[in-house]
Structure 1
Amino acid sequence: MRSEVRAVALRTGISVPCFIQGQLDQTDDGGVPLLLLHAWSESGGSFDRLIASLPSHVLVAPDLRGQGGADKPETGYSLDDVVEDVVALLEALGITRAHVLGSSSGGYLAQQLALTHAQLVTSLILVGAPLSLRGKPPFANEVDSLSDPISENWVRESLSWYRLLHAVPTSYIEDRVRDGLAMSAAIWKASLRGFYEAVPPTEAGTISVPTLIVWGAHDHLVPRQHQETLRERIHGARLNIYELTGHLVLWECPDRLAADVKSFLKEFTKGA
C-alpha cells in the first residue's frame, strides 16, 4: 500500500490537494475506492483518524473548493458547482465508480452527487448528514457578520456549535481550527450559502444506491425524524444510531464508524 497527498488539477479550473491511500486501479471484486467528503469549514484532514482505522482500503480524501489547501476562487460555491468539482476529481484520477462517505454537510454533497451522477456512485455512507439545509441555519447571521482577518478566537468559539459527548484529541481540534483559519470571510459565507440555498437532494429526485445512514442520538442539529425520512426516501437505506454521540460522529467515534464502514463495504466484495 502507499499513501500520498497530491495536487489534482480539475477541469473546473481549480486545483485541490487529495490524500490517496492504496492503488486506484478498480477491479471486479470490490476494489472500488472510498471517496471521503468532508464537512463545511473542514478539510480532508478531518478523516485522518478514520483513515488510520481503514489501512487496507483504497481511499481518496480531497480538500473541497475554498477549504483546506484547495484553491479559493471567489465564485463556484453552489451545491451543484461543488458536485462538479467532485466529478472532475474522479475523472482526473480515472475513477469510474466510488463508494462515497460524507460527513455532516459532506453527506449532503454526497446525496447530490448520487442524485445527479448516479453512474459514479456504488454506495453512500451518510454520517450525520442533513435531510435539508434549506433556509438559514441558526449560526448563519453570525457567519454573515464575519470580516477579514478571521479571528482565531471566533473559530475556536464556533466549534461550540457542535456538542461533543466523547473526548476528542486536542491535536485534532487544533487541526480543525487551522481549517477554519484557512478560509476567508467571503468563503465562509459563500460556501454556507451554497448549501442553504440549494434544493434538498431528496426533494429534487430519487436516490436509489445502497445507503448506510449513521446518526448520533444526541445530534441537536439534525433531528432523528429527519434521519427517518432520509431512510424512507432512499430505497433500502439502513439507519445506525450511535447512543451518547452528538452531531460530529466522525470526530467522536472514528473507530466505531470504521467498523461499520468495513462491514458495509464487505457486502460489495465478491464472495462476501
Structure 2
Amino acid sequence: MRRIPLSTGVTLAVQESGRGAPVVLLHAWGETHRSFDRLVPLLPGDLRLVVPDLRGVGESDKPDGGYSVEDAAGDVVALLDELGLHDGWLLGTSSGGYLAQQVAVQHPERVRGLVLVGAPSDLRGQVPRALAGELAAFHDPVTPDDIRAVNQALPLHAPVPDGFLADQADAALTIPRAVWLAGIEGLVTAEPPLRRGTIVAPALVLWGAEDDILPETQAHELAAAIGGSRLVIYEATGHLVLWERPGRVAEDAAAFIAAHEGGSPP
C-alpha cells in the first residue's frame, strides 16, 4: 500500500492493482480495505482497482473529526484527483455503498457507475438496538472482545473462512473507539443521498435475501430510484453479502461493468 496525501487534509493508505477501467472499492463502517481481500483476486485484471483505507481506519490518518458522509465523499473525490482520474466506478459494501451514493449525488461527473453491495437507501433509525448497546460499552482502546460483540450482532448466513474472519477482527482493532462512534453517528444522522438528489449513473444493486439489518424494501427503493439499475437478490445470504458471496459479487460486478464499458446493455 502507498499513502496518498489529499487536498482534504488527510492521507489515505491505498492498495492498487490492475489496468483499465478504474474501480474504487469502498469498505463499510467498522472495516478496512481488508474486507475486499477475497474479492480483489476474483476481479479481472483489466480493471484498475483502487482500494483505500478510508479516514480513521487501517493505515490511513485518524483525525479527531471529519466523519460525516460528506467528509468521506470529499475524500473519495480528492483521491480521484490525486490519481489523475476524471471519473471511475464505485463499488461500495454496506455503508460504503451509502458513501458511493453520496459521491454520485454530489459529483455525478466523477462517477461512471455504481455497484452497491448490501447498501442501504436510508440509515436513519437503522442501527440495531443490540449493536448500539455493544458500541456504548466499547473500551478505549478497543479490545478483541469488543470486536467479537459487534460481530455477533451481524450474523452470517453462509460459511466464511475462519482466516478471513480473523483478519477482519485484527483489522478492526486499528479503528479507535472515537472513530467507531463518530462514524456511526455520521451515518445515522445524515440525510440519505437519495433525498438529496438524483443518481444518474447506472447501478448494480446486490442484496442478501436474509438480511437481518436492513429491510429488503431498501434494495427495491434503490433500484427504483436509479435509472439504468439492476437488482440481484442472493438467496441464503445475510447483510454481509461481500463476506458471504465474494465469487458471485465478482462475477456480477465484472459483467455489469464490462457491459457498460463496452457500450452494450447488461
Which TM-score band applies after superposition, normalised by the shorter structure?
A: over 0.9
Q: 2:26 — aligned with what?
A: 37
- 8 Å CA contact retained: 2:14, 2:50: yes
Change (3 A) 1:253 1:208: same
Q: 1:188 — aligned with what?
A: 180
Q: Give, in whole Å, the separation in 2 of the partners of 1:163 and 1:231.
A: 25
Residues 148-173 of structure 1: CA deviation (Å, up to 9, x unaligned):
02121120121112221221111111
- Could you tell which deviates more after superposition, 173-182 or 115-124? 173-182
Q: Which structure 2 residues correspond to residues 100-115 of structure 1 after superposition, within 5 A?
A: 100-115=90-105
Question: Is 1:229–2:229 an aligned residue pair?
Answer: no
Question: Is 1:9–2:14 an aligned residue pair?
Answer: no
SS of the residue 1:124 aligns to: strand
Instruction: Give unmatched runs, 5+ long, in structure 1.
Output: 24-30
Offset at residue 85 of structure 1 (A): 0.8
Offset at residue 14 of structure 1 (A): 1.2
- 8 Å CA contact retained: 1:32, 1:97: no
Q: 2:251 — aligned with what?
A: 259
Q: 2:82 — aligned with what?
A: 92
4+ long deviations beyond 6 Å: none
Q: 1:47 aligns with which of 36, 41, 50?
A: 36
Output the amino acid matched with 1:190. A
SS of the residue 2:67 aligns to: coil
Q: Give, in whole Å, the separation in 1 of the partners of 2:249 and 2:232.
A: 10
Instruction: Give unmatched runs, 5+ long, in structure 2.
Output: none
Offset at residue 146 of structure 1 (A): 2.4
Q: 2:17 — aligned with what?
A: 21
Output the amino acid matched with 1:126. L
Q: 1:72 — aligned with what?
A: 62
Residues 215-249 of structure 1: CA deviation (Å, up to 9, x unaligned):
00000111111111111111221100000011111
Residues 175-211 of structure 1: CA deviation (Å, up to 9, x unaligned):
1111221111111100111101100000111111100
Q: 1:246 aligns with which of 230, 234, 238?
A: 238
Alignment identity in percent?
44
Q: 1:169 aligns with which of 161, 177, 182?
A: 161
Question: Is 1:201–2:193 an aligned residue pair?
Answer: yes
Output the amino acid matched with 1:39. A
TM-score (norm 2): 0.94
Change (3 A) 1:271 1:114: closer
Q: Give, in whole Å, the separation in 2 of the partners of 1:135 and 1:235.
A: 26
Q: Give, in whole Å, the separation in 2 of the partners of 1:216 and 1:193.
A: 25
Output the amino acid matched with 2:54. L
Offset at residue 134 of structure 1 (A): 1.4
Q: Give, in whole Å, the separation in 2 of the partners of 1:269 and 1:189.
A: 39
Offset at residue 51 of structure 1 (A): 0.5
- 8 Å CA contact retained: 1:41, 1:179: no
SS of the residue 2:187 aligns to: helix
Offset at residue 144 of structure 1 (A): 3.2
Output the amino acid matched with 1:243. E
- 8 Å CA contact retained: 2:210, 2:238: yes
Output the amino acid matched with 1:45. R
Q: 2:71 aligns with which of 71, 76, 81?
A: 81
Q: Give, in whole Å, the separation in 2 of the partners of 1:162 and 1:122.
A: 31
After superposition, the CA RMSD in angstroms is 1.3
Output the amino acid matched with 1:6. R
Offset at residue 271 of structure 1 (A): 6.5
Q: 1:216 aligns with which of 194, 208, 219?
A: 208
Residues 84-140 of structure 1: CA deviation (Å, up to 9, x unaligned):
111111111111110110000000000000000110000000000011111361223
Residues 45-69 of structure 1: CA deviation (Å, up to 9, x unaligned):
1111111101412100000000111
Output the amino acid matched with 1:171. G
Q: Give, in whole Å, the separation in 2 of the partners of 1:78 and 1:262.
A: 30
Q: 1:178 aligns with which of 167, 170, 177?
A: 170
